[in-house]
Amino acid sequence: MPTANSPELSKQELARRYTRAPHRATLASILAALTLTGLLACRGSSVSPSPASVVLILIDTLRADHLGSYGYSRPTSPTIDRLGAEGILFSQARSVAPWTNPAIVALFTGRRPTAVVPPLEHRQAIRTPLPAELPTLAESARKDDVRTLAFVDHPGISPGLGFARGFDTFVRLFSAGGFPIWSNTDGEFVVDEIERHLDGLRDARSFLYVHLVYPHRPYAPPAPYDGMFGPTTRRTSQQHREEMVNAYDAEIRYTDDVVSALLGALARKGLRDNSWVVVTSDHGEGFWEHGRAEHGNSFYDELLRVPLILSPPAAARIRPQRIDTPVSLVDLHPTVLDLLGVPRHQPPGEIHALPLLPLLTSSPAGAPRDLLSQQPHGGDVTGAALLRGGWKLIRRSERGHPPLQLYDLANDPRERENVSAEQPELVRRLERALLRALARDEAERKSLARREPEDLDDEILERLRALGYLR
Ligand SMILES: [Zn+2]
């Protein structure tokens, strides 16, 4: 048990934060687990009196396997690698969707995409607002007196669709800096803009959501990053695949330096001592591994496997850990609330998201949990995938694709061989589980008020058109 300069105060504060939650038993066990592993914020022999804050850095379109800490051979990510080496790295995190909006909807609401948004093709899907009935991550945090700030460089994560709900401050970075389109927002501007909002947060619990988009197309790494991994191109063509990967990797390297500068800003403002820094992504990016490029169009791991790193407060003593249990992006919803010490307001119905902190002290008992990924934005919008243990079942009705594909991820991590014909009974079991889960999601979704796609403001429409999303 950590000791404290003011132990009673600290214990009372911690007890208040963890026992006010509706899920008292669960959170009490988390508290015990954190205590056992020395995870509570300690400085020397004292418990930090500062409340825990969370800085969630979501790097759009960042596939896990292009980071050194996830096995990549190029030096794309020295800062993120260091966070992973010193903190908690989840090696098998998957997104809930292969593109931005459904993934962020799940992160913000704690529900799977299909339980929140109807399956629509991209033109409608990107204009579908968050349902008013579901509390967002920021709303739950603010209700518990957490200061909430968002810095978002993605035009689709728009206040007009409800994504700003619960944030005291919501800055659209591209707009604040007057930059033309995403991937061009100057990193120095991003860090300066965030830093100037950090005054006064040192002694408050705060939740910062930072959504960067540099690895998203168009790949436009600035000098001197452009070319650091070889010649690059702005084109999307299979003939220029190598140049595209070079440019994508250079964008990751640039992003890593932005993250490094951001950590510097947090330290200058005294926030690194009492803030968890979480690094993740909403989905990956394809380079014709399975016949297609970019994202939104399949359920293979180049799109679904994302990094997930929890870097503890600088003042905490923590044993670095690598956790190989498969986890989902949606799990970050309750996990961030736990780190903030905010009661979880679980929506009714099935619990989609599981808090991750218990995994620090024990492996989950029993059968492996099913993880779902859903809702591509083109072609077959009702496609879905189910991950159970080391198996992945993909179910699609799009022409030109086998309707059911089964992959043995432990032995075939690149998903080269569809083994559904050799495992018919397993395919049947997984398909039944997938269909049951989708039916439950649909029932939950239908209990929400019907929402029509919103009109987006002219600036957002222009940016989305410039990127080819809308015509
Ligand atoms: Zn995205």
Higher pLDDT, 281 or 348: 281
Q: Which amino acid is at 366?
A: G
The band of 14, judged by pLDDT with boundaries at 50, 70 and 90, is very low
- Confidence (pLDDT) at 346: 63
Q: Judge whether residue 53 has pLDDT over 80.
A: yes
Beta bridge partners of 169: 149
Q: How far is the CA of 455 from the centre of ligand 1 (A)?
A: 20
Q: What percent of the chain has pLDDT over 70?
A: 86
Express each pLDDT in 215-255 by its tens digit. 999 999 999 999 999 999 988 899 999 999 999 999 999 99
Give CA separation, 216 vs 51, 205, 283, 302, 307, in Å: 34, 31, 10, 14, 15
Q: How far is the CA of 61 from the centre of ligand 1 (A)?
A: 5
Q: How far is the CA of 429 from the centre of ligand 1 (A)?
A: 31
Q: How far is the CA of 8 from the centre of ligand 1 (A)?
A: 45
Q: Alpha-carbon torsion 176, 117, 309, 243, what sign? A: negative
Beta bridge partners of 323: 90
Express each pLDDT in 319-329 by its tens digit. 899 999 999 99
Express each pLDDT in 91-136 by its tens digit. 999 999 999 999 999 999 999 999 999 888 888 888 889 999 999 9
Residue 436 neighbours by CB under 8 Å, 6+ apart: none
User: To which residue do tokens 């009673």 refer?
Assistant: 8
Q: How far is the CA of 419 from the centre of ligand 1 (A)?
A: 30
pTM over 0.75: yes
Q: Which amino acid is at 415?
A: E
Q: How far is the CA of 106 from the centre of ligand 1 (A)?
A: 13
Q: How far is the CA of 296 from the centre of ligand 1 (A)?
A: 9
Express each pLDDT in 63-78 by its tens digit. 999 999 999 999 999 9
Q: Judge whether residue 310 has pLDDT over 70.
A: yes
Higher pLDDT, 51 or 37: 51
